[in-house]
Structure 1
Amino acid sequence: MARLSLTLRREIVNLSRLGNSISKIRAILAEKGYVVDPKTVKNLLQKWETHGTIRDLPRRRPLPKFGPLHLRTMDKLIDANREITSIGIQRKLREENLTISTSSIRRVRQKKLNWVCTKPRYAQLIRRVNQTARLEYAIRCIENKETFANAIFTDECSVELDHTAKLQFRRKGEAPELIGRPKHPTKVHVWAGISVRGATDIVIFDGIMRSEFYCQELLQNGLLPFVRKAFPDGGYRFIQDNDPKHTSGFTKSFMVANQIPWWPTPAESPDLNPIEMLWHELKHCLRSELKPYTLDDLKRMITFFWKDRVTPEKCQKYIGHIQKVLPVVLEVEGKATGH
């Protein structure tokens, strides 16, 4: 639509001052051959009431563009604090006498500086002393061309009663489906071990695990029967984490009495225990496929998964994955690998 002349603008204001409504003003102008949009009339009258003029207001001064100095400053800000928001960057740039909109900051951050926003990835927190131990362990395994052919990797895990997957699709415009979740979900604890010759039976238990229970129930009824079947001539290595129940005097005495050769590994190193990946697969299968709704369902489906899905070939695949992790431990100097 063509811009209104100053004469027509004055007439609209005069008609309004005489008490005419917007629809009445448009009707009067239509009789004179002028077709004016009601929004145009409304905006003109608001301008008159606010600024006392019918002329065009001066346009806002365009925001200055980013220069090389400001790009470097912004890049350093993000590199120093990778959680800084566009508003935080804007405040810092104002200290450099530069006013930039947050939308421009977001655009420049991605297109010119190549910063992308992602959710943080969390990994095991590893103390410095354990970083050194992990590095030495990785060097020793690589130099000795370790294959873990006679290793039995064991661990415990807590499994919650959960039947909802982590992802859900919905059509555009649909509200997301709300799924109830208990504040303290029901859960059980499981223990098992894997080797290239297969897996032990899985043991499901409740309550707090103590050294006596660990030895008399898990090792006695879970580990030793598997050893007699898979390693009848001995020659195996028993691998567990450094939980206090695993390293207590009672547990050490039990392992000596039953000739269990414990092979120590670095603390805070779940990425060096391949059974952790099997726990992840178990939980994903329960959430997205088996979907237990009761505690009995949960126990039954855990047992089903272990007997049906955990094959020697799968155990060999996960144990072989350590060969990919060890070089990364060297590369990051013992820190978390993300595996």
Structure 2
Amino acid sequence: MAKTKELSKDTRNKSVDLHQAGKTESAIGKQLGVKKSTVGAIIRKWKTYKTTDNLPRSGASRKISPRGVKMITRTVSKNPRTTRGDLVNDLQRAGTKVTKATISNTLRRQGLKSCSARRVPLLKPVHVQACLKFAREHLDDPEEDWENVIWSDETKIELFGKNSTCHVWRRKNAELHPKNTISTVKHGGGNIMLWGCFSAKGPGQLIRVKERMNGAMYREILSKNLLPSARALKMKRGLVFQHDNDPKHTARATKEWLRKKHFKVLEWPSQSPDLNPIENLWRELKIHVAQRQPQNITALEEFCMEEWAKLPAIVCKNLVATYRKRLTSVIANKGNITKY
């Protein structure tokens, strides 16, 4: 907002004189060419302080010049991972000595806040284009089609605490901008690995994967858990199975096993967790398990199984019912990471 021009002392004194002469604020404003509200403010100050002079203003002057503010704002816009210490040094080289707290306060006034960088999958251009292609091709699929899909995935769950964090300077609602995120790769270690599935009718089976998974083990997992899940969820004939493009999933033997069991497989783009609604269930599971604060691996596994079984069927139903919105969001973001 632009600053208004300060009225001269003569104009302020005339306002008071005319007020004492019995003129209304509206009449004074018209005569002097100022707003009625401004005249009212002058008169109120005169009545309170018996003066029309400027009163002492509270607060210290800004420690960083407007030019300095532009410099540090431009710096963090180009590189959101710039630290406060870096900015202190930049300003010191320019002749301005400030503290880290001053840096934080200054950037906050510019709408920038230090936040933990959001961890997102590492996406290459080919992944982005594949996600966008999938979303466009399936945007108009009827909801009934998605209700006949069994969604699956693996996830890791940590026993203690959070992974290391990285802070970035960003504006509100900009957490998913590529400059404000940390790219991750799938299954980068962890305490326990889980495989699970669900459909619009509710959660399917969940198991812990105790060994390094290979193709044979994956097919055994499907045999012991996918088939029972399909029966328990009372899936219709011609159900569709979704899994990602992990080499174990796309191996010839796995494809042949699924064909013999009469499972149609949903063609799936690589590195596309935003497209898989089971990611929302994993997030819910991890929150609920963390709240119970498991102290060892045995308790962690036990709590995972218990909390998975508690997931409401209506949550699963809503995730599938809103799948078109998910696809729309992917298209709007041109295949990049979305809020999902």
Same fold (TM over 0.5): yes
Aligned AA (1:137) = F
* Matched residue count: 254
1:74/1:264 CA distance change after superposition, 3 Å: same
SS, match of residue 202 in structure 1: strand
Question: 1:134 offset after TM fit, Å?
Answer: 0.6
Matched, 1:213 2:217: yes
Give the unaligned 5+ runs of structure 1: 1-61, 167-184
User: Do the aligned residues in 1 keep the contact of 2:121 with 2:271 (CA within 8 Å)?
Assistant: yes
Q: Does the residue aligned with 1:266 lie in a helix, a strand or coil?
A: coil
What is the aligned partner in structure 2 of residue 325 from structure 1?
A: 326
For the residue of structure 1 that corresponds to 2:154, the secondary structure is strand
Q: 2:116 aligned with 1:115, yes or no?
A: no
Q: Is the 8 A contact 1:155 1:240 kept in 2?
A: yes
Alignment check: 8 A CA contact 1:63 1:99 kept: no
**Offset of residue 93 of structure 1:** 4.2
Contact 1:64–1:100 at 8 Å: present in 2 too? Answer: no
Contact 1:270/1:276, CA 8 A, preserved across alignment:
yes
Q: How far apart are 1:94 and its partner, in Å?
A: 5.4
Q: Residue 82 of structure 1 corresponds to which residue in structure 2? A: 80
CA contact (8 A) 1:64 1:99 kept: no
Structure showing greater radius of gyration is 1
Structure 1 residue identity aligned to 2:127: N
In structure 2, the gaps of 5 or more residues are: 1-59, 164-188
Task: Output one character per residue of 1:212-245: Cα deviation in whole Å (capped at 9) or x when no partner.
Answer: 1111x22112112333454565121100111111
Conserved 8 A contact 1:155-1:275: yes
Report the residue type matching 2:203 in the other structure.
Answer: A
Deviation of 1:92 (Å) = 3.5
Q: Which residue of 2 aligns with 1:240?
A: 243
Give the letter aligned to residue 85 of structure 1.
T
| The 10-residue stretch of structure 1 (123-132 or 146-155) with the greater mean CA deviation from structure 2 | 146-155
Greater fraction strand: 2
Do the aligned partners of residues 336 and 232 (structure 1) sit closer, same or farther apart at CA in structure 2, a change above 3 Å counting? Answer: closer
Q: Does 1:265 align with 2:273?
A: no
1:287 aligns to what SS in structure 2? Answer: helix
Which amino acid is the alignment partner of residue 200 of structure 1? G
Match of 2:45 in 1: none
Change (3 A) 1:87 1:192: closer
Partner residue of 1:226? Answer: 229
In structure 2, the partner of 1:193 is: 197
Distance 1:69 1:145, change over 3 A: farther
Q: By how many angstroms is 1:74 displaced?
A: 3.1
Q: SS in structure 2 opposite 1:122? A: strand
2:154–2:195 Cα contact (<8 Å) kept:
yes
| AA at the equivalent of 1:220 | S
Whether the 8 Å CA contact 2:64–2:96 is kept in 1: the answer is: no
- The one-character-per-residue Cα deviations of 1:74-109 (angstroms, maximum 9, x if unpaired) are 3322211222234433444456x5424235444332
In structure 2, the partner of 1:28 is none
Alignment correspondent of 1:149: 147
In the TM superposition, residue 329 of structure 1 has moved relative to its aligned partner by 1.4
Aligned to 1:174: none
The CA distance in 1 between the partners of 2:301 and 2:208, in whole Å, is 7
State the superposition RMSD in angstroms.
3.1
Q: Check whether the contact 1:292–1:298 (CA below 8 A) recurs between aligned residues.
A: yes
Matches within 5 A, 1:4-15: none
Instruction: Check 1:71–1:247 CA distance in 2 against 1; reply closer, same or farther (3 A cut).
Output: same
Distance 2:337 2:203 in 1: 27
Letter in 1 for 2:79: N
Q: CA deviation at 1:313?
A: 1.5
